[in-house]
Amino acid sequence: MDLQLTGRVAVVTGASKGIGLAIARTLREEGARVVAVSRKSSPELDLLAGADLTHVAADLMDPDAPAEVVARAADLYGGLDILVNNAGGPPPGVILPRASFLDATDEEWGKMFEFNLFSAVRAIRAALPLMIERGGGSIVNISSCNARQPSPINVDYGAAKAGMNNVSKVLSDEFGPRGIRVNVVSPGPVRTAWWTEEGGVADLFAAKTGKDPETVMTEVVPEMMGLATGRIADPQEIAAVVALLASPFSVNTTGAEFAVDSGFVKTI
């Protein structure tokens, strides 16, 4: 299916691995010209680089970085049509999961909001004039199931993502009449480095359960979290939803949240 993204210009943050890498790859395969943003590149991202995909190194904890990234996209490709705020998770110096709400300091709360909410707000603020100039655009914010399903092991992260959901809804109402759609994709557990890398969440659960990390991800976590599909998601499954929301096929979809959470969140 042709998503009619050929020639569209997209910025994807947190693009060096995991969900962001899958999104950048998918948008490029659909014909978009992609600015892939991360602190540093990766071998996987380097393989995608070329005329239609450029890596821009940026630390989104720097308040000036989001606007600089958006300006770079306009310089490279002449404008901006799609913004995917994917960068998120624990920022440098902050470790998740925690044992309790009491384990998070003021400094860690501040860093969590800087990375997971404020960097997206700044990128959107920079992107809106370019999209208005082109007569519209699509903003997709990657949130989390924890925005709706609070958890004491990552309470500050969930609070920041809940803020992102709220901001997204406000933006969709204000800028919808100007052709700009703003939607949210909320993943549940996804097979990314946060789970799979050495010392990651799978290793932590393995140490507690006496199971090997792969068994944790394929059996323990799906049962513990009550995943209706019986498995955690693959990054490509999130990327597919993002690409559809970025596409003209979703022209009348805005202010919506799409859960790709394996059926984790049970509430309405």
Q: Which residues contact 172 (CB under 8 A, 6 or more apart)?
A: 181, 182, 183, 254, 255
Q: Is 77 a catalytic residue?
A: no
Cα Dmax for the chain = 57
Q: Residue 144 above 90 pLDDT?
A: yes
| Annotated catalytic residue within 157, 175, 205, 264 | 157
Distance of CA 185 to the CA centre of its chain: 8
Q: Using 50, 70 and 90 to split pLDDT, how confident is the model at 106? A: very high
pLDDT of residue 1: 80
pTM equals 0.96
Domain range list for the chain: 9-188+234-258, 189-232
Q: Residue 201 above 90 pLDDT?
A: no
208-232 pLDDT tens trace: 899 999 999 999 999 999 999 999 9
Q: Which residues contact 20 (CB under 8 A, 6 or more apart)?
A: 12, 13, 14, 36, 38, 84, 86, 87
Which CATH number describes the domain made up of 9-188+234-258? 3.40.50.720
